[in-house]
């Protein structure tokens, strides 16, 4: 989702015109382009490829007998609900185009992208919740790579520090890259990883896996 939003902000003239109409002081049409971080864009492409590989694995796991492998009903419901919502906002935002630069029910194309951006942040906040839940249901943390947990913790800490070291001053918020993640996202991820460490070293330390099998 972030990759889609980033590409739209970078290359869509419609987004540029709506930003200029709404915030002419910060995003004038004759000014510089919208702030986008190229390294983050490359990272999103890599994440997309890795997620594709993970999804193909999950589809294969659906044929196994483990109860907790594959897609949960809640995940499927949220995925369908999100897809329907974003298709609806896209239809509203393009209803009057190209005759009028406006959207039906007040949903402009800029709002359509902003809704996707917010959903992307929400998903990032609960990134490690499925693993936490799986550990709780299986009463163990076997199979969770310690290197993965440590790298994830390091990534979250670096993300938190970047907001205090590399970000523009708050008075220049319009210079913050649109494809960056807010501070609260890294805070939520750091807390989740700490809970993973607590599970592995204290709650379920040295416990054997116990995952019930389907019939």
**What is the per-residue pLDDT across 103-133, written as a single tens digit (0 to 9) for each?**
788 888 899 999 999 999 998 999 888 888 8
pLDDT digits (tens, 9 = 90+) for 141-182: 666 778 888 899 999 999 899 888 866 666 677 788 888 888
Let me know whether 3 and 97 are in one domain. Answer: yes
**Cα–Cα nearest to 117, from 38, 182, 52:** 182
Q: Which residue segment(s) compose the domain that 202 sits in?
A: 127-207
| Total domains present in the chain | 2
Instruction: Specify if 131 maps to a domain.
Output: yes
Let me know whether 28 and 76 are in one domain. Answer: yes
Let me know whether 152 and 202 are in one domain. Answer: yes
Q: What is the pTM of this model?
A: 0.79
* Residue 144 CB contacts under 8 Å (≥ 6 apart), including other chains: 131, 135, 196, 200
Last residue of a domain, one of 126, 155, 189: 126
pLDDT digits (tens, 9 = 90+) for 7-29: 888 888 888 888 888 888 888 77
């Amino acid at each position: 989702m972030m990759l889609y939003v980033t590409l739209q902000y970078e290359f869509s003239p419609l987004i540029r015109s709506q930003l200029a109409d709404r915030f002419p002081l910060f995003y004038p049409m004759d000014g510089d382009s919208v702030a986008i971080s190229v390294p983050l864009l490359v990272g999103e492409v890599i994440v997309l490829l890795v997620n594709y590989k993970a999804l193909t694995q999950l589809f294969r796991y659906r044929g196994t007998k483990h109860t907790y492998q594959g897609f949960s009903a809640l995940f499927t419901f949220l995925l369908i609900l999100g897809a329907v919502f974003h298709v609806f906002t896209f239809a509203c935002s393009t209803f009057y185009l190209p005759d009028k630069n406006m959207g039906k029910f007040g949903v402009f194309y800029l709002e359509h992208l902003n809704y996707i951006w917010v959903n992307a942040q929400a998903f990032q906040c609960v990134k490690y919740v499925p693993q936490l839940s799986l550990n709780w249901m299986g009463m163990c943390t076997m199979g969770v790579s310690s290197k993965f947990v440590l790298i994830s913790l390091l990534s979250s800490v670096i993300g938190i520090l970047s907001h205090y070291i590399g970000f523009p001053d708050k008075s220049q918020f319009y210079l913050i890259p649109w494809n960056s993640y807010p501070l609260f996202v890294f805070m939520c991820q750091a807390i989740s990883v700490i809970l993973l460490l607590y599970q592995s070293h204290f709650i379920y330390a040295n416990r054997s896996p116990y995952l019930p099998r389907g019939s």
